[in-house]
Amino acid sequence: MPRDSSPARVPKRPSCRLCRVRKVKCVKEDGAERCNSCSTLERACEDALPRRRPGPVSRYSREAMSGAEERAPVLKPLLPSPTEVRSEHRGRGSSSSHSPSQPTSSSLASYTPTPRWDMPTQRSAYDAHLSFLPAPVSDGAPRPPPGGVGTSASQPSDPIKTRTALTASHTDKTAVHIEDVLPRCTAMRILHAYHDYLYPLMPCVHWPSFVQQLVAREDERNRRWRAFVFALLAYSIVQLPRSCLDFAPVPELVRYHQQCFSASRAQQSRTFQDVSSIDTATLYCQHIYLSSLFKKNLANLVLVQAIRLAQEQLQTNCDDAIEAELRRRLFWLLYGSDRTICVMDDTPLVIWDWDTNVPYPLALDDAYLTCAGAFPQPDKTSALAGFHFVTRIFHLLGVVLSALRSLRARRSPPDPEISELLSLPRYAPSAAYSAALDGILAALPRELELRADAPGGQAFTICRVNILISQAMVRQTIQSYAEEMGEDTAGQSRALVAAMLRAMPAESLAANGDSLRMKVLYFVLQGMGSDEAGSSELLDMYMRLRETQEAHVLHEAPDLSDEDARGDGTPPVPPPGWER
């Protein structure tokens, strides 16, 4: 039969996405816009296949690569890699063919990474998100070493030693690295968004040193530091507003924060033989992550672990100014979380105020903090000023809460014999606590004043929301204390708090996370029957916050059932029907 007489083959139409997910036959009539299944379910009929990212490198391939690197001579890092040679041939006329070298601390502030074989291939996107490197303080100012979170190891300046260390870091065959979970350029974008939105609320790192460690690939050498980066990424993805993460689809972001959290739990220290700030910071990030996903019991357990580690660490002296400041920040972060849980859930105090003798964190930008000491803050308001004043407000909340708890225990002891042990000293009037709170609020800088038209950028707006809801919680506790003392005090107008929250931008509300929404719900429950108008306003505000959180923040929980049973450190892939 001639070849031209054969009938033309009709191309087979691929199934739509919904039919592929349901695993049913996709039947589409001629001229119809949707197939029968999509028409029945009233869903859009999409034929485009979602782009899938290739999975991580297998363990056997990694063993082969690491074995080849171990057998290579010491001078191998001086030789260009095939990738570097190919890039040089493609762009021989460009000015980017410099010899790779490790950046030193004196020039890191203006450092732009050049192509290297041990850095990711997406150099354009990676370099674009290193624009947040800190500017130098002055020509004669000492530079902070890459100590980031709880480490004081200096960075090697010899290129041969640096390259050899980076090569030897890949011999950890079972560890999960950042590139195994998400592209490094994506991780840098997430950390950049953390610095813009969440860092004023949770400054658990010294940012210039942390950036230096990222550039020096500390995550390839230090397993505990890599566990902290994974925990910080998971916390940032869950806590950041959705508009800050529009560079990736929602399913990928959900998978990112699930696997980052699982990898952090698998690689963090389990023995805690040597206590360091990096372990405390990792546990605190995991606590906030679990709280955002409503894993209440596990979050409280992780918080108690972090508090005990922080208290152990504060008992040792530290000559490093950066390390000492990080210890203070982490302690007061843990203190604020403990007091928030005690107020909202009526649970016992974990940190007792009489044992609290830690100085407040400095209202100082990280660029002016070095290992030898701190430079004076310029005339501009520090981005960490909001964290400083929120710490003072929470400390006052703890003092009032301790007095309230002891007063209740003294008046209604569980056993008459215990009342003899509860002969506490005379209590201060509630007006003294109110005056102390007014004094803290009066000292706020212009950028943090509790008014809608206050100047300042996004970081100050986020801190204003935190200060507003925190001072409202203190006033509510003072009012409860006054009622226990038998004083006649007029309650604070809850409608004023709701009106000020309503004037705040949606992204600032979303960046404060579920803690803000639960605090508003706490005010609604406390005001039932006393201030009907204010409670109604707060209830409307609670519903708005709930919609804002659902629209801006990712709330998907990983499967934590077998995380401790996996000894290889591989992040588990969550099943389709995991529990929330």
pLDDT of 197-254, one tens digit each?
A: 899 999 999 999 999 999 999 988 899 999 999 999 999 999 888 888 888 888 899 9
**SS3 sequence, 180-225?**
HHCCHHHHHHHHHHHHHHHCCCCCCCCHHHHHHHHHCCHHHCCHHH
pLDDT in the model for residue 69: 53
Tell me, what DSSP letter sits at residue 270? S
Whether 285 has a pLDDT exceeding 80, the answer reads: yes
Of 507, 508, 493, 495, nearest in space to 538 by CA: 495
Of 127, 279, 149, nearest in space to 215 by CA: 127
Three-state DSSP class for 439? helix
Residue type, 402: S
Higher pLDDT, 391 or 464: 391
pLDDT in the model for residue 459: 79
Tell me what the pLDDT averaged over the chain comes to: 72
Q: What is the mean pLDDT of residues 312-332?
A: 91
Of 256, 227, 214, nearest in space to 130 by CA: 214
Distance CA(221)–CA(309), nearest Å, equals 24
Quick one: how far is CA 564 from the chain centroid?
22
